[in-house]
Amino acid sequence: MRYFGSLNYSASLIALMLYSLGVALSNGVFISYFAPLIFALIFSKDKLTRVLKRLFILNIFVLLSVASVLLSQNYNLAWLIFLRSNLLIFFSLLLFSGINESEFLRAFSALKLGKKINSLMYFSLSFISSLNKDLIKLQNTLKARGFRPKTSIFGYKIYANLLALLLILAIQKLQSTQKTLKARNYKGYILNPQKLNLHRQDYALLALCALCLVFKMGAII
């Protein structure tokens, strides 16, 4: 099992779940929420630049949500949405920026949620990855043929055809996968559970995230 810095990916998955519950279910934002962030940052300093770039890009979508709330002049709610979203996104990026598909699957299987759930996660990630590759190929094909994104009827038709083609490819991949599994006598699982090895830093991260569920100290909003 590979580690992100020296944090176990499986422990990071549990920590993210606890932290998300603590932040999402609270009625405000508290200074204590920054403790897990600072701890994760210690093990992620070498990737901080990439994390901040991704955080900046994702904030475009956050700001769209905030803007819709600002239209109703609910400034407290807008500020709350902005802070909560950035806390969760930043924490997720610190823990998992740079992780690849196989590492995530191994970390997920180590949680021992069941072979069928592990297989479902495997197929979901593989399917998403495959569709993403198809989308990139189609985009490159359009660029090679001189297509430039425009807000016109022709542009909208191209986008509609692109989505339709992706849907057709998705159906074909599903049918192909189904035939392959039948031919290989699929037993209901793909991955064997991995061993969960936690260290002191992993337990410390889990404890900090668990405390976010219980203790709310230093209200910001």
Q: Give the pLDDT confidence score for residue 161 in this predicted structure.
A: 82
What span, in angstroms and rounded, lies between the C-alpha atoms of 174 and 116? Answer: 18
CA 34-39-43 angle, to 5 degrees, is 140
Q: What pTM, to 2 d.p., does this model score?
A: 0.74
**Conformation bin of residue 179: beta by default, left when phi > 0, alpha when psi is -120 to 50:** alpha
Average pLDDT for 94-121? 82
Give 73's DSSP letter.
Answer: T
Q: Give the pLDDT confidence score for residue 159 in this predicted structure.
A: 76
Does residue 70 or residue 127 have the better pLDDT? 70
What span, in angstroms and rounded, lies between the C-alpha atoms of 133 and 115? Answer: 27
For all residues of the chain together, what is the average pLDDT?
Answer: 83
Residues 6+ apart with CB under 8 A from 118: 105, 108, 109, 189, 190, 191, 193
Burial code (b: 16+ CB inside 10 Å, e: under 16) for 102-114 equals ebbbbbbbbbeee
Q: Is the pLDDT of residue 206 over 90?
A: yes
Does residue 131 or residue 12 have the better pLDDT? 12
Percent of the chain with pLDDT over 70: 93
Q: Is the pLDDT of residue 1 over 60?
A: no
Closest CA to 54 of 86, 22, 78: 86
Which secondary-structure segment (H or E) carries 123?
helix 115-144
Q: Give the pLDDT confidence score for residue 16 in this predicted structure.
A: 93
Q: Is the pLDDT of residue 3 over 50?
A: no
Residues 6+ apart with CB under 8 A from 167: none
Q: Is the pLDDT of residue 18 over 90?
A: yes
pLDDT tens track for 161-202: 888 888 888 888 878 877 777 777 766 666 566 677 888 899
Give 193's DSSP letter.
Answer: P
Average pLDDT for 126-141? 81
Q: Give the pLDDT confidence score for residue 19 in this predicted structure.
A: 93
pLDDT tens track for 36-68: 999 999 988 888 889 999 999 999 889 888 888
Q: At which residue do the structure tokens 């993403």 appear?
A: 132
Say if residues 63 and 89 touch (Cβ distance below 8 Å).
no
Say if residues 169 and 134 touch (Cβ distance below 8 Å).
yes
